[in-house]
Structure 1
Amino acid sequence: MSRPTVAPLGIAIAFALAVPAFAQDAPGGNATRLDAVIVTGTRATDRTALESTSPIDVLTADDIRQAGVLNGELGSALQALLPSLNFPRQSNSGGADHVRAAQLRGLSPNQVLVLVNGKRRHASALVNTDSKIGKGNTPVDFNAIPVSAIKRIEVLRDGAGAQYGSDAVAGVINVILDDAPEGGAWEASYGAHHTDVEPIGRTVTDGQTAYASGQVGSRIGQDGFFRVGFEYKQREATNRAGFDQIPFFEEQTPDNLALAGQRNYVLGDGASKDLNAWLNAAVPVGENAEFYAFGTYHQSDTEGANYFRYPDGEANWKEIYPNGYRPISEGENLDLAGVAGVRGQWGDWDYDASLNHGRNEFTYRLRDSLNASLGPASPTRFKTGDYESAQTLFNVDLSRVFGAHTFATGVEFRHETFETGAGDPASYAAGPYTDRPTGSQAGGGLTPQDTADLDRDVSSVYASLSSQWGDRFTTDIAARYEHYDDFGGELTGKLAARYEFAPAFALRGSVSNNFRAPSLSQIGFESTSTGYDASGQLLQGRLLSVNNPIARALGARDLDPEKALNLSVGFTSRIGEHFDLSLDVFRIDIDDRVALTERISGDALTDYVLDNFGVPGVQSVNFFINAADTRTEGAELVANWRQALGDGDLLLTGAYSYAKTELKRITATPDALLAIDPDYVLFGIEESNTLTDAAPRTRGIFTARWDNSDWSLLGRVSRHGSAKRVFNFGGGFEPEQTYGAEWQLDAEVEYRFSPKWSVAIGGLNLTDEYPDLSNEDIYYFGNLPYDVLSPIGSNGAYYYTRIRYSF
C-alpha cells in the first residue's frame, strides 16, 4: 500500500538527531525548563525548578503546542512530554471512553491534585467503573482545560498534602493561565491517522481532527489586564477492530454465523465535538491590591464503543435489529470553573482571599440499543443517567518575608457535592418478557433506588516556612490540619531540604505524610447495568454503595481514608551554561487504598440475594473497599543540554521514569462471602493487576529541538515500557499477557514566514508502531486485537498541519 510522503519530516528528524555531532562550543541557547522561576511546591518567590527542594517539571506553552498531540488534547500532550504521566486511550470501557484519566508515578488518577493558577480544580462527575486504568475514579478531566489558555504548567512530583491538602499523594499539576496584557493569536490545525492495520490487512485513514483557537488580551489601566479565548475541536472516530470469529457461547445459528469474518466491533476513539472558552483578568484596586478572576468553560459531545449483540441472542429482537446491533454510548459533558479574589499587601504581609467554584454535569445516553425485556416495542434510544459534582472553596492565604525566610499560613473551607439522577424508565424497566435481560443494553439506566445525593464540608488550616540558610542550604517545612465532617481530622506534614555541597552540585530530599479521603462517589454511587463481563458473558449486575444492605451482607464496611508516607532523595547538577541534570528516587507507601472488588457473580450469589433480600435477577455485584496496602518505588531522571548551533539554538532533553508498585497487604475475603461460595474472592488477581502491573513501569523520552528566527525543528523519541493484563474468567481460567515495550518517533517542522505568521507540519508515531497483538485468550475471538494498556495507543501514525497568526 502507498504511504504518505514524509520527506520534510525525515529531514527534520535526521537533523534534530544529528546536531550534537556538529554543535560548536558557544554560549547561549534556549533557556531550559529548569531555569524557570516556580510557584508550586514552595512559598519562596525566587526559586527555579533546579533549586527546588522537590522535583518539578516546567512546561511552556510552546512545549505543549509542539507536542502536536491530537490537536488540543491537554492530557495527551502531558503524556508526550512527561515520562512520569500516563494517559491511556480506553475503548469499550464505559465512561472512560468519554472522560479519560491520567496517572502520575503509576498511582491512581485521584491521587494527583490538579490546580489552575494555584487553586484546586474540581473533578469530573462521571464514575469510571468499566475501565482498566482509573477504575472506580472520578478523575479531573484534563481535556476540559483549554490548551490555548496555558502560559506554563508546573508538575510537582512529590507528596504535597501539607502544602495543598488532600489528594496530593503522587504530586501536584499546576496549570498557569496566560496573563499577557496585550496581543493575541489565532491558530488552526488539521490532522488524521494514516496507518496499516495488521489484523485486517488494510491501510486506513480515519480520526480526522480539526482544531481552531483564538485569544486576545487588553490592558486595563496601567497594571491590569483582561485576556479571553476560545477553542473548537471536532474529531472523527477510529476503528482497529479485527474480524469476528463469533464467540462459542453465542447461539451458533445461521444468522449469527453469517457475521463471521465481518468487523462487527469497534476498537478505538469515538467521535467527539468540543467547545472551550476561558478568561483571565486582574484589575488594580487602590495602590496595594488587585481584584482577579479567571475561569474555564467546556462543553463536549462524545461517543463510546460497546460490545456487539448478535441477531439470535437473548439481548436482541430481530424485529428491531435483524442483523444484530452494537450500542453506542453518548456523553454530554458540561464543565464550568470560576475563581474570583483579591490579593495585595497589608503592611509587611501579602494576602490572597478567593472564592472558587467548579462543577461538572454529565448526561449519559445510549443509541442503537434496546431493553430486551420490553420486547419488540422497546425504544432504541435511552438516557441512562445524570451525574453532577461540584465544589465551592473559600481561601485566605497570608505570607511574609523575614530576611531569608518566607512564612505562610492560611485557611480553607470547602463544600463538595455529588448527585446522580435516574435514567429514562425504559432504561431500567423490567418488562413482561422475563426470560430476557432487563435494562438498556450496554449500560442499564440508573434506577430511582440507585440515585445518590451526598455532600460534605472540609476545613483546613496550614502553615509553612521556606528558608535560605546561607548560599548552600534551603529548607521547606509545612504542616496542615484538615477536617472532614464525615471522616474527622488528619494532620499532615512535610520536610524538604536542598544542600549544594559543591559548586553546581546539590542533594535534595523530602519526607511527608499525605492523606486522601474517599470521594463522595466512592461512598455513595450505585448503578444497575446489563452488559458483558471480562469473559464476554452477558450479565445483569449492580455496583452497590458501601451502605447498601446487600453489600454489607457480602462484607462491605465503612471506607477509611488512604494514608501515605512519601520519601524522596535526589541529586541535581548544573555545569556552566550548557548542561543540567536532576535524578530523584522515591518510595510511596499507601495504606488502605480504595478500589472496587472483583465482580462477584454466579448462581450462588443470585440465589442468596433473592432468598435474603427478595431481589431477583442479580447476577453480579461489586462495591468499593479498602482493598490493599501498596508500596511504589521508583526513580526519575531529567537532563538538558543547550548549545548554540549555526544561526540558532539547540536544546537536547532526556527524561526517564521508573515506578514499580507492589502489594504489601490484601484485604481478606470475609467469612460471610465465603459462606455463600468458598470460591469467591473479594479482591483478587484482576483488580490487583489494576494497581500494580497494568500501567507501564518505565517510560523514556529524548527530544531534540533547534530554533532560530525562522525555523523550529523538533524530533522526539519515546520508549513506552511493558504492561501486563490479567483476567479472571472464572473456573480457574486466568489468562494473562505481558505487552512488550514500544518505541515511538514524533517530529515537527515549523516555519515563520513573517513575524506574525507561522506554519507547521508534523507527525506522531511516524513509524506506525502498535502494541503487541493480544493472544487468543484475550483478543475476544478476533474482535479486539489490541489492548488499551500501552501509552502508544492503537491508532497508529498521525499526521497534522498547523497555521498560527500572532499579534
Structure 2
Amino acid sequence: MPRTYAAPLAVAIAAALALPAHAQDSSPAANPTNLDTVLVTGTVARDRTVLESTVPVDVLTAEDIRKAGVLNGELGSALQALLPSFNFPRQSNSGGADHIRAAQLRGLSPNQVLVLVNGKRRHTSALVNTDSKIGKGNTPVDFNAIPVSAIKRIEVLRDGAGAQYGSDALAGVINVILEDAPEGGAVEVSYGLHHTDVEPIGQTITDGQTGFFSGKVGTALGDGGFLRVGVEYKERNGTNRAGFDQIPFFEEQTPDNLALAGKRNYYLGDGDSKDINGWFNSELPISDSASLYAFGTFHQSKTQGANYFRYPDSVSTWREIYPNGYRPVSLGENQDTALVAGVRGQWGEWDYDGSLNYGRNDFTYRLRNSLNASLGPSSPTQFRVGDYEFQQALFNFDISRVFGDHTFATGVEFRREDYQTGAGDPASYATGPFIDRPTGSQAGGGLTPQDTADLDRDVASVYASLSSRFGEKFYTDISARYEHYSDFGGELTGKLAARYEFAPAFALRGSVSNNFRAPSLSQIGFESTSTGYDASGQLTQGRLLSVNNPIARALGATDLDPEKSINLSLGFTSRIGEHFDLSFDVFRIDIDDRIAITERITGDALTEFVLDNFGVPGVQSAGFFINAADTRTEGGELVANWRQGLGNGQLLLTGTWSYAKTELKNVTATPQALLDIDPSYVLFGVEESNTLTDAAPRTRAVFSANWGNDNWSLLGRVSRHGSAKRVFNFGGGFEPEQTYGAEWQLDAEVEYRFSERWSLALGGLNLTDEYPDLSNQDIYYFGNLPYDVLSPIGSNGAYYYTRVRYSF
C-alpha cells in the first residue's frame, strides 16, 4: 500500500536532522538561494539583489529545480512545486491540453505571462487549447520543452512588466537562465512510478512508469568563452483513474451496450509520452571588449490523449469495425525549436547587446482507433486531423550605461509572427453517403481547406528604462515603451516602481504600471472541430470558428480588441541578520477586454440556421473568441526563509503563501443576432465565467525543510492546494456545479553523496496518496470520470522515484 512507503522516508528525514554537530556548509543543499544574488530581471541596475528589488522576484537555483523531483524532467511541474502562485494542472479528455499543458501565474491566463530564456522572448506553442478548463482558448508557452538540465537559475518577476519587456507580461515574467560553466558536466538517470489506491474502483494500481536520462558537458572556448551542451530523454507510461461505467441514459439501452456496464471503458489520466530535448549555450570572445554568443533548445515529443468511449450500438460506430465499441486516442507530434545568436560588448562607457532570435513550434494532431461514421464500414480508423505552425523572429538592440547612481537603458525590437494551419486528411472531414451518421473523424473532425489559416504581423517597439539609487535607502525603476502592431496600431505603456528602507532591515516597495496584450494570431485565425455536450448531456461534434468566419459573424462575432491592464502592487520586505528574511506583497490587476471563448451555442435552432444560411449541414455546436469581460484580480503573496546551522549541516526552512481572486466586471452582452436565432442563447455565461474566476484554486501554500551537509541532502515539503469550483452549462437551465475542497500534499527526498562525483536519491511525491474530492453524480459522467482536473494535486496518486547522478 502507498502509505507504507511514507513512514521510512519520514524516519530518514528525522534521523538525519538529529545527526551530531560537525559544521559543514560546502554541499549544494547547504547553500540555498543567496539573497545577495544580483538580479537580471525586473531592473536595468547592475547591483540589485533579491530583497533590494522594487518588485517581487523569486530566484530558483538549478539545485532547487533538480530536487523538486516532479515526474522526472517536467519543468512546469517543478515550478508548481516551488512557486505557490504558479499553477500547472494535469489535463485529461481535454483535447490539445492533453498534449501541451498550460501554466498560470497569479490566477491569470497562461498567455498573460511572458517567458524569457537568457532574457530573450520565448515563442508560444501553435496549438490552441480549446477543450481544457484551465487555459482554455490559450496557446501557452510549452514549459516542458525547456530542458531542466540546462537551467542555471530561474528568476520569476511577479508584477506587470510590459514597459520593460513588451506585450504579454500582464501577470509577470519568467526568465530562464541557462548554464554557462566552461567545464565539467553531469549524467543523471531516474526512474519512478505511481503506486496508489484508486477509491472509485477499489483497487491498488501501479502505473505511470517514467524513465528519464540527462547528460551535459562544458568546455572552454578561447580566453573566457565557453560551450555548454546537453541532451535529455524521457519515456512515460500512461495512468488511468476512470471509474466503472454506468452507461449514459441517452445511449441505446441494448443488450450489447448494457453488457459494458461495470467495466472501465473510459480513460482518465496521463497518456503515454516520449520526449527528446537538446540544448546548448555558448560565448566566444572576439576582442577585449566584445563577445559572440549563441544558445538554443530543441524539443520533440510524441504524446497520447484521452477521448470519450463510443458504444457498440451507436450512430457514431459501425459494428463491422468495432463490434464492442471503441475509444478514440488522440496523438500529438510536437516539435519545438529556439535559436538565439548575438554580439555584446562595450563602446566606451556604453554596454550594447544585439541579437537575432528565432522560435518555431510545429504540431501535428492525429487520431487512431477512430472512424468517420458517415463513410460507412469502409471508413479508415486513423486520421491526420490538422497541422499547426507558429514562427517568431526577432531583432533586438539594447544599450545601457551607468551614470553614478543611475543606470539608463534603451533599445529597439522588431518582431515578426507567422501562424499557419494545414488541412487534415480528406477522410477526416468528409461527408459520406450515410447522411444519418455524424460526419468527420470521431473525437475531432479534421480541418477542412476552408478552415485553414495563414496569418502574419509585424511588431516594432522602442523602450527606455532608468534605475536609480538615492543614497542607501531609496531605489526607483522607471520604464516606458511604445509598441506598434501592424494589425492593432500602437500602445504606450509605462511603469514606476520604488523601494524605501524606512528602518534597518525593513523596507516598503510598490509599483504601478499599465500593460498591453494583443490577441494572438491563433486566437484570430484558429478553427477546429471537437467533442462537447449538448443540453441533454450527449456528446456532440462542435466547431470553434475564427472571428473572421462568416458563420461566426452571423452569430455575433466581431474583431477582437487587445487586452489592457492596470497593475498596482505594494509590499514589505525584511531581513534580520543572516537567519531570517520575509517579503509580503499585495496586488491588484484590472484587465479590460479579457479574451475568452463563448459558451457552447447548441441545439436545433443553430443547426437549422447554419444549414439554411450557409449550406453547411450537421453543425451541432459552435463557439468563437470574444472580448468577454473586464476583470479585477486581487491577491497577496508571502515568502519567508529561515537559515540555521543544525547538527553537522545547514537547515533551510521556507514558507510561501499566495492568494488571487478574480471577479468579472462589465460582461459583454449577448448580441441581438444570436438572440434572434434562439432567445435562450447566452454568449458568455456561467460556464466560461467560471473558467476565468473560480476554476483555479485561489490559495496555495508550501512549507519546505531542506537540510544538507557534505554527504546527505534531505528534503521535506508540505503543500496545501486551495479549493476550486467547476460549473457546467448543459443548456435548458441545467447548470451543475461542485466546489472541490482544499488538499494537502506531502513530498520528501533523501539523497546521499558517495563521493564528489556519485549520488543516489530516493523520494516520493504525494506520499499520503491524496486525491481531489470525488465528483458528484451530475459531473462524474455516469461514473466514468470520478475526478476533475482542476486541483493541482492531480488524480494520479502517490509517486515514488529514485535518481542516480554522476558529476565530473
Q: Is the 8 A contact 1:328 1:367 kept in 2?
A: yes
Deviation string for 1:385-420 (max 9, x for gaps)?
Answer: 000001000000000000000000000000001100
Q: Is the 8 A contact 2:535 2:603 kept in 1?
A: no
Q: Is the 8 A contact 1:25 1:643 kept in 2?
A: no
Question: Is residue 167 of structure 1 aligned with residue 187 of structure 2?
Answer: no
Change (3 A) 1:48 1:25: same
- One-letter amino acid of the counterpart of residue 65, structure 2: I
Question: Is residue 92 of structure 1 aligned with residue 96 of structure 2?
Answer: no
Question: Is residue 360 of structure 1 aligned with residue 361 of structure 2?
Answer: yes
1:222 Cα deviation from its structure 2 partner: 2.1
- One-letter amino acid of the counterpart of residue 526, structure 1: E
Change (3 A) 1:404 1:196: same
What CA distance in whole angstroms lies between the structure 2 residues aligned with 1:409 and 1:476? 13
Residue 375 of structure 2 aligns to a residue in which SS? Answer: helix
Residue 34 of structure 1 aligns to a residue in which SS? Answer: coil
What CA distance in whole angstroms lies between the structure 2 residues aligned with 1:37 and 1:48? 5
Deviation string for 1:21-53 (max 9, x for gaps)?
Answer: x99999996344533221000011111111100
Matches within 5 A, 1:222-233: 222-233=223-234
Question: Is residue 11 of structure 1 aligned with residue 11 of structure 2?
Answer: yes
What CA distance in whole angstroms lies between the structure 1 residues aligned with 2:175 and 2:18? 33
1:2 Cα deviation from its structure 2 partner: 7.6
Aligned to 1:261: 262
Matches within 5 A, 1:60-99: 60-99=61-100
Aligned to 1:706: 707
What CA distance in whole angstroms lies between the structure 2 residues aligned with 1:613 and 1:780? 34
What CA distance in whole angstroms lies between the structure 2 residues aligned with 1:670 and 1:244? 40
What CA distance in whole angstroms lies between the structure 2 residues aligned with 1:121 and 1:515? 17
Deviation string for 1:227-276 (max 9, x for gaps)?
Answer: 00000000000000000000000000000000000000000000000000
Q: Is the 8 A contact 1:703 1:714 kept in 2?
A: yes
- One-letter amino acid of the counterpart of residue 539, structure 2: L
Q: Is the 8 A contact 1:592 1:628 kept in 2?
A: yes
Question: Is residue 551 of structure 1 aligned with residue 544 of structure 2?
Answer: no
Residue 666 of structure 1 aligns to a residue in which SS? Answer: coil
What CA distance in whole angstroms lies between the structure 2 residues aligned with 1:14 and 1:592? 52
Aligned to 2:763: 762
1:658 Cα deviation from its structure 2 partner: 0.3
Matches within 5 A, 1:60-209: 60-209=61-210
Deviation string for 1:409-454 (max 9, x for gaps)?
Answer: 0000000011000000000000000000000000110111100000
Aligned to 1:510: 511
Aligned to 2:212: 211
Structure 2: where are the runs of 5+ without partners?
A: none
What CA distance in whole angstroms lies between the structure 2 residues aligned with 1:27 and 1:278? 31
Aligned to 2:735: 734
Change (3 A) 1:533 1:359: farther
1:606 Cα deviation from its structure 2 partner: 1.1
Residue 553 of structure 2 aligns to a residue in which SS? Answer: helix
Question: Is residue 800 of structure 1 aligned with residue 801 of structure 2?
Answer: yes
- One-letter amino acid of the counterpart of residue 9, structure 2: L
Q: Is the 8 A contact 1:12 1:715 kept in 2?
A: no
Aligned to 1:619: 620
Change (3 A) 1:27 1:768: closer
- One-letter amino acid of the counterpart of residue 758, structure 1: S
What CA distance in whole angstroms lies between the structure 2 residues aligned with 1:529 and 1:573? 52
Q: Sequence identity, in percent?
A: 82
Change (3 A) 1:31 1:801: closer
Aligned to 1:591: 592
- One-letter amino acid of the counterpart of residue 166, structure 1: S
What CA distance in whole angstroms lies between the structure 2 residues aligned with 1:137 and 1:485? 21
Residue 666 of structure 2 aligns to a residue in which SS? Answer: strand
Change (3 A) 1:533 1:187: farther
Change (3 A) 1:23 1:168: farther
Q: Is the 8 A contact 1:53 1:476 kept in 2?
A: yes
Deviation string for 1:546-601 (max 9, x for gaps)?
Answer: 11111111111110000000000000000000000000000000000000000101
Q: Is the 8 A contact 1:450 1:528 kept in 2?
A: no
Change (3 A) 1:584 1:535: farther
1:6 Cα deviation from its structure 2 partner: 4.2
What CA distance in whole angstroms lies between the structure 1 residues aligned with 2:787 and 2:642? 37
Q: Is the 8 A contact 2:126 2:363 kept in 1?
A: yes
What CA distance in whole angstroms lies between the structure 2 residues aligned with 1:259 and 1:409? 67
Deviation string for 1:595-634 (max 9, x for gaps)?
Answer: 0000101111111112222222211110000000000000
Q: Paired residues, what number?
A: 805
What CA distance in whole angstroms lies between the structure 1 residues aligned with 2:7 and 2:801? 14
Q: Is the 8 A contact 1:693 1:724 kept in 2?
A: yes
1:533 Cα deviation from its structure 2 partner: 5.3
- One-letter amino acid of the counterpart of residue 11, structure 2: I
- One-letter amino acid of the counterpart of residue 73, structure 1: E
What CA distance in whole angstroms lies between the structure 2 residues aligned with 1:32 and 1:296? 25
Deviation string for 1:141-176 (max 9, x for gaps)?
Answer: 000000000000000000000000000000000000
- One-letter amino acid of the counterpart of residue 335, structure 2: L
What CA distance in whole angstroms lies between the structure 2 residues aligned with 1:542 and 1:206? 35
1:15 Cα deviation from its structure 2 partner: 5.4
Change (3 A) 1:447 1:15: farther
Structure 1: where are the runs of 5+ without partners?
A: none
What CA distance in whole angstroms lies between the structure 1 residues aligned with 2:535 and 2:318? 24
Question: Is residue 453 of structure 1 aligned with residue 454 of structure 2?
Answer: yes
1:525 Cα deviation from its structure 2 partner: 1.0
Change (3 A) 1:442 1:706: same
- One-letter amino acid of the counterpart of residue 623, structure 1: F
Deviation string for 1:169-200 (max 9, x for gaps)?
Answer: 00000000000010000000000000000000
Question: Is residue 294 of structure 1 aligned with residue 295 of structure 2?
Answer: yes
* Greater Cα shift, 366-375 or 525-534: 525-534
1:5 Cα deviation from its structure 2 partner: 3.7
Name the Cα RMSD after superposition. 1.6
- One-letter amino acid of the counterpart of residue 464, structure 1: S
Change (3 A) 1:705 1:476: same
What CA distance in whole angstroms lies between the structure 2 residues aligned with 1:754 and 1:157? 39
Deviation string for 1:439-496 (max 9, x for gaps)?
Answer: 0000110111100000000000000000000000000000000000000000000000
Residue 523 of structure 2 aligns to a residue in which SS? Answer: helix
Q: Is the 8 A contact 1:445 1:529 kept in 2?
A: no
- One-letter amino acid of the counterpart of residue 399, structure 1: S
- One-letter amino acid of the counterpart of residue 688, structure 2: E
Q: Is the 8 A contact 2:444 2:541 kept in 1?
A: no
Q: Is the 8 A contact 1:24 1:643 kept in 2?
A: no
What CA distance in whole angstroms lies between the structure 1 residues aligned with 2:408 and 2:202? 64
Question: Is residue 486 of structure 1 aligned with residue 494 of structure 2?
Answer: no
- One-letter amino acid of the counterpart of residue 553, structure 1: A
1:527 Cα deviation from its structure 2 partner: 1.8
What CA distance in whole angstroms lies between the structure 2 residues aligned with 1:790 and 1:45? 40
Q: Is the 8 A contact 1:440 1:530 kept in 2?
A: no
Aligned to 1:668: 669
- One-letter amino acid of the counterpart of residue 699, structure 2: T
- One-letter amino acid of the counterpart of residue 616, structure 1: P
- One-letter amino acid of the counterpart of residue 206, structure 1: D
- One-letter amino acid of the counterpart of residue 758, structure 2: W
Q: Is the 8 A contact 1:341 1:353 kept in 2?
A: yes
Aligned to 1:333: 334
Residue 81 of structure 2 aligns to a residue in which SS? Answer: helix
Question: Is residue 690 of structure 1 aligned with residue 691 of structure 2?
Answer: yes
Q: Is the 8 A contact 1:34 1:57 kept in 2?
A: no
Aligned to 2:42: 41
Residue 318 of structure 1 aligns to a residue in which SS? Answer: coil
What CA distance in whole angstroms lies between the structure 1 residues aligned with 2:344 and 2:535? 53
Q: Is the 8 A contact 2:3 2:769 kept in 1?
A: no
- One-letter amino acid of the counterpart of residue 75, structure 2: L
1:529 Cα deviation from its structure 2 partner: 3.6
Q: Is the 8 A contact 1:179 1:280 kept in 2?
A: yes
Deviation string for 1:290-316 (max 9, x for gaps)?
Answer: 000000000000000000000000100
- One-letter amino acid of the counterpart of residue 256, structure 2: D
Q: Is the 8 A contact 1:24 1:644 kept in 2?
A: no
